[in-house]
A = this chain, B = another copy of it.
Amino acid sequence: MDEIEVRNLLEGIRKGSIDINSGVERLKMLPFDDINYAKIDFHRSLRNGFPEVIYCENKSAGQICEIAERMSLKGVNVLATRISRDKFGELKKQIVNAEYFSDSRVAVIKNREIIKTECKVCVVSAGTADIPVAEEAVITAEFFGNSVERVYDVGVAGIHRLFANIEKIRSCDVVIVVAGMEGALASVVGGLVESPVIAVPTSVGYGASFGGVSALLTMLNSCASGVTVVNIDNGFGAGYMAATITRAIARKRER
């Protein structure tokens, strides 16, 4: 039941073509009866033109294409994460303006101008092997209207590289730190900047890194304050959180 139907119902009431008892009955069930209407009430992402996201890992090319087309028809921008090159090939056949970022396995469909937030996000990574996850964060943050600074390969084994870039990092509104192995970079950055720091453990490493668990624990136990953590390899989650923060900044400025 969308707004038009509610309006029709109320007009039927006014005109007397619908009696009050059956109006009450229909309204009682309202938020449960109709998925489209319900979405308007409950869900945050239904404002006009707000971007949408498809997580592609367990979806077939067919499913992805269908969802992407339905979204594109609404005229919103679409971000597709963890999409393989093969599945993107299928998508590209249907939606010609789809773009692929192979490092991060992300696809973007721009159906309208991205509204800029005037905020800067810095994505810092420890090693070159962390770059795919870092790039997923970058594309996500940009997709939601942020400028992004990349500071890559500045792990703590050669900490001078970090210091050489510290002012660039400090100048950003939100900092994302992507690190595998022992994940110590998040603590060091957290001790050097004033902005909120989002730490992303990666599954890079071997032996007792346990697929990212070591870096995850390091980051959760960070002795530096102002550091929070997302799931292992979840570059998208970090980029989205950064976008949530810059949106909070933007909202406040508008008021």
Q: Which of A's residues lie within 8 Å of B, judged by CB? A: 3, 6-7, 10-11, 13-14, 16, 20, 23-24, 27-35, 38-44, 53, 57-59, 63, 119, 126-129, 155-161, 163-167, 173-174, 181-184, 187-188, 190-198, 201, 203-210, 212-234, 236-238, 240-241, 244-245, 247-249, 251-253
Contact = CB atoms under 8 A, between A and B. Distances in A.
Contacts of A119: 252
A35 B225 CA distance: 21
A230 B212 CA distance: 17
Given A42-B159, A59-B129, A225-B240, A218 B183 contact: yes
A58 B164 contact: no
Contact of A42 (B39, B163, B228): B163
B31 A163 contact: yes
A32 B167 contact: yes
**Chain A interface helix/strand/loop/mixed:** helix
B192 A58 contact: no
Given A182-B223, A207-B220, A44 B192 contact: yes
Number of copies: 8
A184 B221 CA distance: 10
A164 B32 contact: yes
B252 A188 contact: no
B158 A248 contact: no
Given A27-B27, A159-B191, 15 more contacts: A6-B27, A13-B13, A43-B191, A58-B128, A58-B129, A126-B223, A156-B184, A157-B187, A158-B191, A159-B159, A182-B184, A188-B188, A196-B241, A196-B244, A226-B244
